[in-house]
């Protein structure tokens, strides 16, 4: 790689992301009882650690390519994405009531994770020419249809969480594309009016999740259990936490999914408000850098990419952390860079890599 | 760049949104962890900390000579630790199968359970079940064995009404006595001394504080508090006399085919109760680990009310035993002199009320009238005294109020009086009612204990001591915590010679009078009085009260036999046997 390009790496972003990944591996260790003797105690930490290293290698490799070439692959990626999502529907295997995984050799991957990133690239490529030209419903419809197809496929899995991420990406990107605010307001008004209709389409367990979000005690041992135990875990961490490996809620298994979706509750319980707030501030730096990189991008495609990625990450952080603290419904979307999961980690590292790439090529290089 | 830069404001807005999102999340974390942190810390402890109580052994009962009456034996209880999550179905199924308890019953108990104390599934299980659960811990997560001492009443039915019984605390009791440290599942005294002295007997439960995981599996012990045994009671009861009294009552009931009876044996000089019997009785051991429906129905459907302690709650017309009161009143008020004679023509000349068996004794004085329980003589005493003075003396003897014995549910009886008549019947008092009252019929009601007290006051030269069943409360280490001294309640305000005259009359009862036949050949001098209480519901109730030895009384006895007919035939033989046992009379 060009030495001058290397000098333009966003070291702040790299440092912050590295911090989050290291914290993630430590907390996954705590959540999976690494301090209790057992044959398999390193399993999760090993997997997450190895994928982190492999991802860094992949990122270094990808930095050699200019992100601008992605623009030409937009439609092909889009079609690949549709095929992949269809494959999940046809060949995927179910877990926890949803069909989200497909097996490729020894790996089980979760295509909906990658499809978020693919959507960002495809949408950025599509929107590049439409900046400032989304003024009427007719202007918007093709874009909506473009996003709508994969959206529905993911919704069908069912993966409400990821489909909502699609919405967040979609709105974030068309917002920066200069969609007429009146049109945007109209869509929101229409969406709000459609909520009761959408409710009919929700599965029973999804309805229950919304209901326990409003009041976890309607089903304290069932759907409300996660929220209640998670709030207890975080709240009982108090200011300084119970210490690493010291969280009773997490260590004694009162907190379910503590290494995946509810990992923030482990941080809150063991490291307290101080630790939790510090982690959130690290996320703020990532997101803030995302916005800055969008601003400084050398072209529209790069800016839209950065906006899409930032929207995705922000929505994930908001919904996941909000869920663990009872201010967002349980939708099963992971905390980026923190939750255990190879697909999720890879997607997010790739997203960060794209941000770094945009930043590195932000202005014409002067030799 | 040109075309999009006009929307750089939008990008700025995106930046603000991102800051806002993180600010919201940090604020929420602050609210949960700093503002509400204590609350959630408490909930987290509730999740993980369980107390496995170890019940304190209840204090035991000894008789006055140190003989063991009521003790504890070790019992094992299988309990489930309540979890934050649902107790796994397979565990419930396994426990149900092992204990042979219907699964629905366990599920009901779980559903009804509140709080974090163990859910008691089955008490008093055998040791092999304990072994299975302890050896196969993995199969029974959250299932614990509690060692619970189980009450053991050595005398079975004997003394049941005095000792009482224990069982699990009810919701009502829990609500009322929460402040005293009672918890759900506690064993509490429900009746008798067990109830009255519960706070002394219960001791202090200990427990083990353990940390459990989500499955209820104990992870580590956090603390241990050994239970403190309750205090022992040394009773005034004499085991041998109690047993003899029980036997005497049982034998006589069998002989005359009666079912209900009560007997009180006391020391008139101290108020110590030496024996207390009520028939029919119940076996308090049945309650110790939850009475079965069958046993409970058997007790409940018995028409003679086995659960009533008739010695203190049974109210009967005193019959001729009341002549002690009437006689004392007449002599004290001077309405007759001891030597004055009244002519008994078999009936009274104002109102033709007759003697019980229609006999006519001719000219008789006080002593003769008392000895033969002459009704006509005492009608006339009633006539001369009037109901108000009769009432005054009855109350002076302590009738119409509870004695204050240390047993629950004592009745106060009733003293015939104008006010009562007016209140209940809205009618004036009639002379014939005074006649009835003077011989202990009509409105008068006394408990066997009150009857014993009246006789005891004569025996103790007018002194009325509070009846009590406990001599000492002794700590588990053997230290006396409290000693109960004789408590003088009141003294009869009558001249000493009046009491002497009444004593002599009662002495004559056993020599030449109504009890002389049964007491023929009795080696000690005693005093007694028979009585027959009219009973509108069936046969009359038979009474006998007595004390001895005549010159220095240490024992007073009251016996009532429900529907036993004449006291001389039903109650007196029991009285004689009790006195024989009390004075170790052998032939």
At A134-191, the pLDDT tens digits run 889 999 999 999 999 999 988 888 788 898 999 999 999 999 998 999 999 999 999 8
Distance CA B78, CA B121 (A): 6
State which H helix or E strand residue B204 sits in: none
Contacts of A268 in chain B (CB under 8 A): 29, 32-33
B541-548 β-sheet, strand order: B273-279, B261-266, B555-561, B541-548, B527-533
The nearest CA of chain B is from the CA of A277 a distance in Å of 6
Contacts of A237 in chain B (CB under 8 A): 33, 37
Per-residue pLDDT, B359: 85
Q: How many C-beta neighbours within 10 Å does residue A211 have?
A: 15
Which of B214, B235, B256 lies at the terminal end of a domain, its last residue? B235
Contact assessment for residue A247 and residue A306, using Cβ atoms and an 8 Å cutoff: no
In a domain, B380, yes or no: yes
In a domain, B254, yes or no: yes
Q: How many C-beta neighbours within 10 Å does residue B533 have?
A: 24
Distance CA A178, CA B10 (A): 8
In a domain, B314, yes or no: yes
Per-residue pLDDT, A36: 82
What phi and psi values does residue B391 have, to the nearest 5 degrees?
A: -60, -45
What are the tens digits of pLDDT across the range A352-365? 999 999 999 887 54
Q: What are the distances in angstroms from CA A306 to CA A72, A146, A363?
A: 17, 19, 15
Which of B193, B217, B235 lies at the terminal end of a domain, its last residue? B235
The nearest CA of chain B is from the CA of A226 a distance in Å of 11
Q: What is the DSSP string of B2-62?
A: HHHHTTHHHHHHHHHHHHHHHHHHHHHHHIIIIISHHHHHHHHHHHHEEEEEEPPPPPPEE
> Residues A327-351: what's their mean pLDDT?
93
What are the tens digits of pLDDT across the range A237-275? 999 999 999 998 999 888 888 999 999 999 999 999 999
DSSP B198: H
Is A191 or A351 the better-scoring residue by pLDDT?
A351
Distance CA B183, CA B57 (A): 16
Q: Give the strand pairing for B206-212 and B49-54.
A: antiparallel
Do residues B231 and B266 both lie within one domain? no
| Closest-CA residue of chain A to B10 | A176
Enclosing domain of residue B148: 49-235
The answer on pLDDT for A323 being more than 60 is yes
Per-residue pLDDT, A365: 44
State which H helix or E strand residue B300 sits in: helix B293-300
Per-residue pLDDT, A366: 44
Per-residue pLDDT, B1: 45
Torsion sign (Cα): B573, B576, B581, B587: negative
Contacts of A280 in chain B (CB under 8 A): 22, 25-26, 29
What are the tens digits of pLDDT across the range A58-70? 999 999 899 999 9
Give the CA angle between residues A16, A17, A18 to the nearest 5°: 90
Total domain count, chain B? 2
In a domain, B111, yes or no: yes
Of B148, B124, B152, give the one whose Cα is nearest residue B61: B152
In a domain, B449, yes or no: yes
Contacts of B36 in chain A (CB under 8 A): 235
Task: Inspect the interface and report whether the beta carbons of A291 and B33 lie closer than 8 Å.
Answer: no
What are the tens digits of pLDDT across the range B356-375? 777 899 999 999 999 999 99
What are the tens digits of pLDDT across the range A10-52? 999 999 999 999 999 999 999 998 888 888 889 999 999 999 9
Per-residue pLDDT, B74: 85
- Contacting B residues, span 184-213, partner chain A, CB-CB under 8 Å: 211-213
Per-residue pLDDT, B343: 93
Distance CA B406, CA B197 (A): 9
Per-residue pLDDT, A307: 96
Per-residue pLDDT, B84: 66
Contacts of B9 in chain A (CB under 8 A): none
What are the tens digits of pLDDT across the range B458-504? 999 999 999 999 999 999 999 999 999 999 999 999 999 999 999 99
Per-residue pLDDT, A98: 58
In a domain, B38, yes or no: no
The answer on pLDDT for A101 being more than 80 is no
Distance CA B15, CA B19 (A): 6
Per-residue pLDDT, A256: 85
Give the CA angle between residues B160, B163, B166 to the nearest 5°: 95
Q: Which of A253, A272, A300 sits opposite B213 (nearest CB)?
A: A253
CATH number at residue B422: 3.40.710.10
State which H helix or E strand residue B374 sits in: none
* Below-70 pLDDT ranges, chain B: 1-5, 84-85, 115-116, 289
Q: How many C-beta neighbours within 10 Å does residue B2 have?
A: 7
Do residues B315 and B264 both lie within one domain? yes
Q: Which of A178, A242, A254 to mutate to test the interface with B (most CBs of B within 10 A)?
A: A254
Do residues B142 and B257 both lie within one domain? no
B111/A contact by beta carbon, under 8 A: no
What phi and psi values does residue B514 have, to the nearest 5 degrees?
A: -70, -25
Q: pLDDT confidence of A367, banded at 50, 70, 90?
A: very low
Do residues B357 and B475 both lie within one domain? yes
Do residues B139 and B281 both lie within one domain? no
Q: What are the distances in angstroms from CA A49 to CA A28, A103, A244, A346?
A: 10, 21, 19, 12
Of B374, B264, B395, give the one whose Cα is nearest residue B323: B374
Which of B191, B206, B235 lies at the terminal end of a domain, its last residue? B235
pLDDT, chain A, mean: 89
Contact assessment for residue A219 and residue A208, using Cβ atoms and an 8 Å cutoff: yes
What are the tens digits of pLDDT across the range B235-268? 999 999 999 999 999 999 999 999 999 999 999 9
Distance CA B463, CA B456 (A): 8
The nearest CA of chain B is from the CA of A176 a distance in Å of 6
Contacts of B142 in chain A (CB under 8 A): none
Do residues B243 and B218 both lie within one domain? no
Contact assessment for residue B501 and residue B366, using Cβ atoms and an 8 Å cutoff: yes
Of B573, B542, B575, give the one whose Cα is nearest residue B557: B575
Residues in chain A, how many? 367
3-state secondary structure chain A: CCHHHHHCCCHHHHHHHHHHHHHHHHHHHHHCCCCCCCCCCCHHHHHHHHHHHHHHHHHHHHCCCCHHHHHHHHHHHHHHHHHHHHHHHHHCEEECCEEEEEEECCEEECHHHHHHHHHHHHHHHHHCCCCCCCCCHHHHHHHHHHHHHHHHHHHHCCCHHHHHHHHHHHHHHHHHCCCCHHHHHHHHHHHHHHHHHHHHHCCHHHHHHHHHHHCHHHCCCCHHHHHHHHHHHHHHHCCCCCCCCCCHHHHCCCCCCCCCCCHHHHHHHHHHHHHHHHHHHHHHHHHHHHHHHHHHCCCHHHHHHHHHHHHHHHHHHHHHHHHHCCCCCCCCCCCCCCCCCHHHHHHHHHHHHHHHHHHHCCCCCCC
Which residues have a Cβ under 8 Å from the Cβ of A121 and sit 6 or more positions away?
A: A70, A73, A74, A77, A305
Of B12, B8, B14, B3, give the one whose Cα is nearest residue A129: B3
Is B382 or A105 the better-scoring residue by pLDDT?
B382
Task: Inspect the interface and report whether the beta carbons of A249 and B19 lie closer than 8 Å.
Answer: no
The answer on pLDDT for A219 being more than 60 is yes
Q: Residue B560's Cα: distance from chain center in Å?
A: 19
Q: Which of A178, A238, A325 sits opposite B41 (nearest CB)?
A: A238
Do residues B231 and B244 both lie within one domain? no
Which residues have a Cβ under 8 Å from the Cβ of B82 and sit 6 or more positions away?
A: B50, B110, B113, B115, B116, B117, B118, B119
Contact assessment for residue B196 and residue B407, using Cβ atoms and an 8 Å cutoff: yes
Do residues B395 and B431 both lie within one domain? yes
B128/A contact by beta carbon, under 8 A: no
Task: Inspect the interface and report whether the beta carbons of A317 and B22 lie closer than 8 Å.
Answer: yes
CATH number at residue B56: 3.90.1310.10
Distance CA B245, CA B581 (A): 8
Q: How many C-beta neighbours within 10 Å does residue B338 have?
A: 17
What phi and psi values does residue B191 have, to the nearest 5 degrees?
A: -160, 160
Contact assessment for residue B438 and residue B382, using Cβ atoms and an 8 Å cutoff: yes
Do residues B186 and B275 both lie within one domain? no
Which residues have a Cβ under 8 Å from the Cβ of B536 and sit 6 or more positions away?
A: none
Distance CA B207, CA B223 (A): 8
Do residues B166 and B78 both lie within one domain? yes
In a domain, B416, yes or no: yes
DSSP B545: E
Do residues B483 and B443 both lie within one domain? yes
Do residues B206 and B344 both lie within one domain? no
Distance CA B272, CA B466 (A): 8
């Amino acid at each position: 790689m060009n030495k001058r390009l290397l000098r333009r790496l966003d070291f702040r972003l790299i440092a912050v992301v590295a911090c989050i990944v290291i914290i993630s591996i430590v907390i996954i260790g705590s959540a999976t009882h690494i301090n209790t003797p057992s044959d398999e105690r390193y399993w999760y930490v090993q997997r997450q650690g190895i994928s982190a290293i492999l991802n860094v290698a992949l990122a270094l490799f990808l930095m050699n390519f200019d992100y601008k070439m992605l623009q030409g692959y937009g439609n092909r990626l889009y079609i690949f994405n549709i095929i992949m999502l269809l494959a999940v529907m046809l060949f995927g295997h179910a877990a926890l009531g949803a069909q989200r995984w497909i097996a490729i050799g020894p790996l089980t991957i979760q295509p909906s994770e990658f499809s978020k990133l693919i959507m960002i690239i495809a949408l950025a490529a599509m929107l590049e020419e439409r900046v400032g030209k989304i003024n009427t419903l007719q202007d918007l419809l093709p874009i909506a249809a473009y996003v709508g197809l994969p959206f529905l496929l993911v919704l069908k899995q069912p993966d409400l969480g990821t489909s909502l991420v699609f919405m967040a990406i979609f709105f974030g990107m068309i917002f920066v594309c200069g969609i007429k605010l009146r049109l945007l307001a109209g869509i929101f008004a229409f969406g709000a009016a459609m909520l009761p209709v959408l409710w009919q389409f929700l599965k029973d367990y999804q309805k229950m999740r919304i209901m326990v979000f409003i009041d976890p005690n309607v089903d304290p041992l069932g759907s409300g259990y996660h929220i209640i135990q998670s709030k207890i875990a975080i709240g009982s961490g108090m200011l300084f936490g119970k210490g690493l490996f010291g969280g009773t809620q997490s260590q004694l298994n009162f907190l379910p999914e503590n290494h995946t979706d509810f990992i923030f509750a482990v941080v809150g319980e063991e490291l307290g408000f101080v630790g939790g707030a510090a982690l959130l501030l690290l996320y703020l730096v990532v997101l803030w850098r995302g916005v800055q990189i969008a601003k400084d991008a050398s072209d529209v495609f790069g800016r839209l990419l950065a906006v899409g990625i930032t929207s995705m990450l922000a929505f994930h952080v908001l919904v996941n952390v909000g869920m663990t603290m009872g201010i967002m419904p349980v939708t099963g979307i992971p905390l980026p860079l923190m939750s255990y999961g190879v697909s999720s980690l890879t997607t997010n590292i790739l997203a960060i890599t794209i941000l770094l790439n945009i930043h590195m090529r932000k202005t014409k290089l002067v030799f | 760049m040109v075309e999009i830069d006009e929307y750089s404001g939008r990008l700025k807005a995106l930046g603000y949104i991102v800051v806002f999102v993180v600010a919201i999340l940090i604020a929420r974390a602050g609210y949960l962890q700093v503002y509400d942190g204590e609350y959630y810390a408490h909930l987290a402890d509730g999740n993980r900390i369980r107390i496995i109580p170890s019940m304190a052994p209840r204090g035991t009962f000894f008789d006055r000579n140190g003989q063991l009456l009521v003790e504890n034996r070790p019992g094992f209880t299988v309990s489930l630790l309540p979890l934050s999550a649902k107790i796994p179905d397979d565990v419930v199924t396994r426990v149900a199968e092992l204990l042979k308890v219907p699964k629905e019953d366990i599920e009901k108990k779980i559903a009804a359970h509140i709080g974090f104390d163990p859910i008691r599934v089955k008490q008093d299980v055998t040791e092999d079940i304990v072994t299975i659960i302890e050896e196969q811990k993995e199969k029974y997560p959250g299932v614990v064995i509690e060692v619970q001492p189980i009450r053991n009443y050595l005398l079975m039915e004997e003394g049941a009404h005095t000792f009482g019984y224990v069982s699990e605390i009810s919701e009502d009791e829990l609500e009322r006595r929460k402040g005293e440290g009672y918890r759900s599942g506690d064993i509490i005294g429900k009746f008798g001394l067990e109830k009255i002295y519960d706070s002394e007997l219960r001791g202090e439960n200990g427990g083990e504080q353990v940390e459990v995981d989500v499955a209820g599996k104990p992870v580590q012990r956090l603390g241990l508090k050994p239970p403190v045994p309750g205090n022992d009671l040394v009773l005034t009861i004499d085991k041998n006399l109690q047993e003899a009294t029980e036997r005497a009552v049982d034998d006589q009931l069998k002989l005359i085919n009666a079912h209900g009876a009560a007997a009180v044996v006391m020391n008139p000089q101290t108020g110590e109760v030496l024996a207390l019997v009520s028939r029919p009785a119940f076996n308090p051991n049945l309650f110790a680990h939850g009475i079965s429906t069958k046993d409970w129905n058997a007790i409940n459907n018995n028409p003679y009310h086995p659960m009533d302690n008739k010695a203190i709650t049974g109210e009967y017309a005193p019959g001729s035993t009341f002549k002690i009161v009437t006689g004392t009143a007449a002599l004290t008020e001077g309405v007759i002199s001891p030597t004055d004679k009244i002519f008994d023509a078999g009936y009274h000349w104002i109102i033709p009320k007759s003697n019980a068996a229609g006999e006519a004794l001719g000219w008789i004085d006080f002593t003769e009238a008392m000895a033969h329980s002459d009704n006509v003589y005492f009608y006339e005493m009633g006539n001369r005294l009037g109901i108000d003075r009769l009432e005054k003396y009855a109350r002076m003897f302590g009738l119409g109020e509870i004695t204050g014995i240390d047993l629950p549910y004592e009745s106060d009886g009733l003293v015939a009086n104008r006010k009562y008549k007016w209140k209940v019947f809205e009618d004036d008092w009639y002379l014939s009612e005074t006649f009835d009252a003077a011989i202990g019929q009509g409105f008068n009601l006394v408990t066997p204990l009150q009857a014993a007290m009246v006789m005891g006051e004569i025996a103790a030269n007018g002194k009325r001591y509070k009846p009590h069943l406990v001599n000492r409360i002794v700590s588990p280490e053997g230290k006396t915590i409290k000693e109960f001294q004789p408590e003088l309640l009141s003294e009869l305000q009558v001249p000493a010679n009046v009491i002497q005259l009444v004593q002599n009359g009662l002495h004559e009862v056993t020599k030449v009078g109504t009890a002389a036949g049964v007491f023929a050949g009795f080696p000690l001098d005693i005093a007694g009085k028979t009585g027959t209480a009219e009973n509108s519901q069936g046969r009359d109730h038979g009474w006998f009260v007595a004390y001895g030895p005549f010159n220095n009384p240490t024992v007073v006895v009251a016996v009532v036999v429900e529907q036993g007919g004449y006291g001389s035939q039903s109650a007196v033989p029991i009285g004689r046997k009790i006195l024989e046992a009390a004075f170790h009379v052998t032939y």
